[in-house]
Structure 1
Amino acid sequence: MASRDRPGRLDRPALTGVLVREVVNFKSYWRASTFSSTVEPTIYLLAFGFGFGTLVSKVNGLDYVQFVGTGTVATAVLFSSVFPAMFGTFVKREFQGTYGAILAAPVDTEEIVTGEALWIAARAGVFGCAPMLVAIVFGLDPAWGMLLVPFIAFIAGFGWASFGILISAVMKSIDNFSYVTSTVITPLFLVAGTFFPISGLPEWARILANVNPLYHCVQLVRDAIFGLDWIDLYHLAFMVAFGLIAWRIAIWRMEKRLIN
């Protein structure tokens, strides 16, 4: 198609078209997606909160159920963003031919990646609240700061969705995702301060935690509920930077995969 027929950078009609398609398509699988994205983090919350919680009553001044209940918000965000982005975009590109069909319209790779990431982040913003609501039932006191949690989850979800799209664009086989899951996502999940404070970890693990976007999400969610501090500007800035960097690299890699 001639270049004059292509949209400009992040053309609003093109981006809206990608988002509308995602919303319409979501109606066919929302039950399974909602179930898988909310139940597993809730199981972690119940298992650790009432299992390990019988051995440890307080962590960093919080009841252990409160500590885990706020931490598993980030877990829900991770599960509902990075995995749908990895597998969903790969299937659409390699098996369904969805992106090839979209590119036949006046839509660029930038709108495709941005639309996918925004939609997945919006879902993560909703799904991430599920463990927090369960924790309220089991003793987490409601707080006005909880109203910030969906927005925090959205920002974190956008970063992890962009990261998942990047991995999808890099990997040539869907089987290779297991390498990323085992060597990147699982270690970051374990050293995010979700189930135990990172202060007791070895120095190398604490360094890893401080460059872990999931850790900053955990800290920001906890502080939003129990009291914000100036350090939270750093946590927020780190999450925003991670999202923007992952987003731009994902666009670059996906463009090489789809166009070049």
Structure 2
Amino acid sequence: MAATTTPVRPHEGRLAGRAFAYWMANYRRVWRGTIISGFLGPLFFLVAMGFGLGALVDDGGLGGTGYVEFIAPGLLAAQAMQTAVGESTFPVMGALKWHRQYHAMLATPLGIADLVLGHVAFVTMRVAITSVAFAVVAVALGAIASWWVLAAVFAAVLTGLAFTTPVFAFAARQDNDSGFNVLFRFIVMPMFLFSGTFFPVSQLPALLEAIARVTPLWHGVELCRGLVLETATVAGSLGHAGYLLLWAAGGLWLAFASFRKRLVT
């Protein structure tokens, strides 16, 4: 698909709220379809793995923490990742290739920064909604008991943002869904399983443990778990948050570049 010639917009980025408003208006028509993937899926994992399998798992290696209490904050971070990736793949490619909402936005005073920031803000809002909903249910089920869950929700949103912007950059360069199949099967799913959500990464072989520790999900899981279990330190929390912010900022820079290459000549 050929890019369109678009003039440089002065003060680009100040109209991002208008792009956000479009995605919100669209979401009001389709929000019911997001309940299962964004909320019930992680909830089923919590019930099945935490209360089901957890009844058969001792607390060896968990420092005396019950298994359901161990995985609940991990799932909080993991569902933030899954929501962010899901909202940043096909919706972005669709807005470029099929429905062409981005092209329509560029026909208005909005610029590249406006449409990227507006859409990223919408995805962040989606991550926040699913994170709050999951946290409320986890507290109701007794899987989370600390008031620090409020801070953990913000940590989960930051985790989602660390995935949103790089996946935006990736999705903007795709012409079909083959790249997404690779992303989900060989990156997202392995991270979900092996980044500390269900067991400490210290139980992995040394090479896999080193790989797990550089993933943004591991940092998100550790940050959420440390806050919820009240074992976090200030230095450790700032380190995890800073690492996630680096991913988000680097991904945003790449997203701007990818969108300009795709939409502007």
- Whether these two folds match at TM > 0.5 is yes
**Pairwise CA RMSD of aligned residues?**
1.7
1:69 aligns with 2:72: yes
TM-score, structure 2 as length reference: 0.91
* Pairing 1:83–2:86 present: yes
> Residue deviations 1:80-133, cap 9 Å, x none?
111111011111110001111000111111221111111101210220233333
What amino acid is the match of 2:150? L
The one-letter amino acid paired with 1:204 is L
Write the letter of the residue equivalent to 2:43: T
Partner residue in 2 for 1:34:
35
Letter in 2 for 1:246: G
* Alpha-carbon distance in structure 2 between the residues aligned to 1:2 and 1:236: 36
In structure 2, C-alpha distance between the alignment counterparts of 1:179 and 1:27, rounded to whole Å:
30
Q: Pick from 238, 247, 255: which aligns with 1:250?
A: 255
Report the counterpart of residue 259 of structure 1 in structure 2: 264
Distance 2:35 2:23 in 1: 15
Within 5 Å, which residues of 2 pair with 1:142-221? 142-221=145-224
Deviates more, 1:42-51 or 1:234-243: 42-51
Label 1:152 to 1:141 Cα distance change in 2 as closer, same or farther (>3 A): closer
Which deviates more, 123-132 or 208-217?
123-132
Deviations 1:149-197 (A, max 9, x none): 2321222222211122122112221233101111211122222100111
- Please tell me whether the aligned partners of residues 76 and 128 of structure 1 are also in contact (alpha carbons under 8 angstroms): yes
1:141 shift after superposition: 4.5
Query: Whole-Å Cα distance in 1 between the matches of residues 63 and 208 of structure 2?
Result: 19
Which SS does the other structure have where 2:96 is aligned?
helix
Query: 151-160 or 25-34: which moved more?
Result: 151-160
Percentage of identical aligned residues = 26
Residue ranges of structure 2 left out of the alignment (5+ in a row): none
Q: Identify the range of structure 1 (221-230 vs 14-23) with the bigger mean alpha-carbon deviation.
A: 221-230
Q: What SS is found at the alignment partner of 1:81?
A: helix
Question: In the TM superposition, what is the alpha-carbon distance from 1:25 to its structure 2 partner?
Answer: 1.2
1:136 aligned onto 2:139: yes
Give the secondary structure class of the aligned counterpart of 2:13.
coil
Higher relative contact order (CA 8 A, sep 6+): 2
Give the direction of change, closer, same or farther, for the CA distance of 1:130–1:67 in structure 2 (3 Å limit). Answer: farther
TM-score by length of 1: 0.93
